[in-house]
Amino acid sequence: MIELSYFAAAVLFILGLKRMSSPVTARDGIVWAGVGMVVATLATFFMPDMHNYGLMILAILIGGGIAWYTGKKVEMTDMPQMIAIYNGMGGGAAAAIAAVELMKGDIPSTSFQVLAVLGALIGSVAFSGSAIAFAKLQGLMKKSLVFPSQKVVNLGILGLALLLGLVLMFSDSPGGFLLFLFFLLALAFGVMMTLPIGGADMPVIISLYNAFTGLAVGFEGFVLGNAAMIIAGTVVGSAGTLLTQLMAKAMNRSLGNVLFSGFGTTTAGAGASPEGEMKEVSATDAATMMAFANKVIIVPGYGMAVAQAQHKVWELAELLEERGVEVKFAIHPVAGRMPGHMNVLLAEAGVPYDKIFDMDEINAEFPQADVALVIGANDVVNPAARTDPDSPIYGMPILDVDKAKNVIVVKRGKGRGFSGIENKLFFLDNTRMLYGDAQKVAADLIAEVKQL
């Protein structure tokens, strides 16, 4: 019955993940995967020689209670950091399992001991790295830390961790101090690897640590002989790996470049200075341009998320549609602070799925758009990615906003974006800047459209 329960849980995990691939069935997919986790957890209580039921139930109540409360209270704008810390907790749990099994010293074979150490290393890196990602996304850590010979220091920490790991892999009775030092180095490497990475690369890092967590859980599943952990870890690890590759591809950068280049920090090169000057537009004129347009494409970015303006933006879109304007939403794969961030926000506001298009689907339509409304997006609409070989984002696929007949950019101020790169879109002849908080600007545009 235990094995059948684990098999049922695995099927639910896989089917749930499959249903998550479509916005229409994603909610059901999450529920299916959650039911699978409940089945796997309950089956564990009936494992032979299982004990400490009181502590198990207490842990479930505490962890489940915290997760339920934070899941209910978290703002959609804070979802990236919650995902980051939950990813990290999974990696930390896998590392803790490895620590217990290594200290017990009764792992049945050397191959399983190798998997235990590898799971400990990967899980520890995922835990501490995700904690730093959380701190950056939450605003607790304002700057990325870059210092001379940083890569050498990081390589030295990783080398020592690997050396100690090799000793642990083939040791009959790993000592407590050796284990402590190994985990300390693994945790330190996760911290040091994440410190120099800027906010612009956070979608890639979150998905990478997600893959790490899955891999660590899968390894520890082999150590424990737990089929549910093996399958769940493998599914999460493979999905996270694929997502990481897709995110890196969307930025036209290798994973090594993301991890070691320092892009996304305030010290990143900005490329050539743009020519011309930014031209401001009033809410009245912007509303008039959109109200009398045939097609408007809205491009949301992190500025919309920070201002929690998605509901107002959708209200504006509905008003325009009532006037006969065709309105579509364009989403770049790495817009926001986690994969799918903008899609989640728009779904929360009630935007129909058939009005949301990804980059490949929508780019050909920008030349026919009378107005492209950019709300808080920066690097994903920067034409320097196509035209400036000196720009750090050169070669990165972007939304072709600059090809629209008119571009209106909603921005809080005149500063550069999160990655510190000047956006040449803002200086083009067909671009007008509408300064202010995205929610207030959207409300002003709604009021102006209603008066027309």
Q: Which residues, in sequence order, are bridge partners of residue 331?
A: 358
DSSP-derived letter for residue 274 is: P
3-state secondary structure 311-345: HHHHHHHHHHHHCCCEEEEEECCCCCCCCCHHHHH
At residue 125, the pLDDT reads: 95
**Shortest CA distance to 365 belongs to which of 414, 295, 311?**
295
User: Residue 54: what are its φ and ψ, rounded to 5°?
Assistant: -60, -45
* pLDDT for 268: 46
Residues carrying an active site annotation = 379
Interatomic CA distance for residues 329 and 317, integer angstroms: 9
pLDDT at 146: 74
Integer Cα distance of 40 and 47 in angstroms: 11
Domains of the chain: 74-260 (no CATH), 283-451 (3.40.50.1220)
Coil, helix or strand at residue 328: strand
Pairing of strands 295-300, 431-435: unpaired
Q: Which of 301, 270, 282, 272 is closest to 392 using CA atoms?
A: 270
Distance of alpha carbon 338 from alpha carbon 83, whole angstroms:
9
Helices 110-138 and 176-194: angle between axes, nearest 10 degrees: 40
Residue pair 416/270 in contact by the 8 Å Cβ criterion: yes
CA dihedral 412, 415, 418, 423 (to 10 degrees): 100
Instruction: Let me know: does 233 contact 301? Beta carbons within 8 Å.
Output: no
Running DSSP on this structure, what letter comes out for residue 373?
Answer: E
Distance CA 408, CA 290 (A): 10
Q: Using CA atoms, how far apart are residues 410 and 408, in angstroms rounded to an integer?
A: 7
DSSP track, 385-439 = HHH-TTSTTTT-----GGGSS-EEEEESSSS--TT----GGGGSTTEEEEES-HH
Q: Which backbone phi and psi does 270 adopt, to 5 degrees?
A: -105, -5
Phi/psi at 373 (5° precision) = -100, 110
Q: Spell out the residues 6+ positions from residue 262 whose beta carbon is closer than 8 angstroms to its own.
A: 144, 146, 196, 197, 198, 268
pLDDT of residue 267: 41
pLDDT in tens, the chain (452 residues): 888 998 999 899 989 988 987 777 888 999 999 999 999 999 989 888 888 899 999 999 999 999 999 988 887 777 888 888 998 999 999 999 999 988 887 777 888 889 999 999 999 999 999 999 898 888 888 766 777 787 889 899 999 999 999 988 888 776 788 899 999 999 999 999 888 887 667 778 888 999 999 999 999 999 988 888 898 899 889 988 988 888 887 777 777 777 766 544 444 444 556 666 889 999 999 999 999 999 999 999 888 888 889 999 999 999 999 999 999 999 998 887 777 788 888 888 889 988 999 998 999 999 999 999 999 888 889 898 888 888 777 888 899 999 999 999 998 876 655 555 788 889 999 999 999 999 999 999 999 999 88
In the chain, count H helices and then E strands. Answer: 17, 6
Q: What is the separation of C-alpha 96 from the centre of its chain, rounded to a whole number of angstroms? A: 25
Q: Does the pTM of the predicted model rise above 0.85?
A: no
- Count Cα atoms within 13 angstroms, Cβ side, for 421: 29
State the CB neighbour count (10 A cutoff) for residue 99.
19
Whole-number pLDDT of residue 417: 54
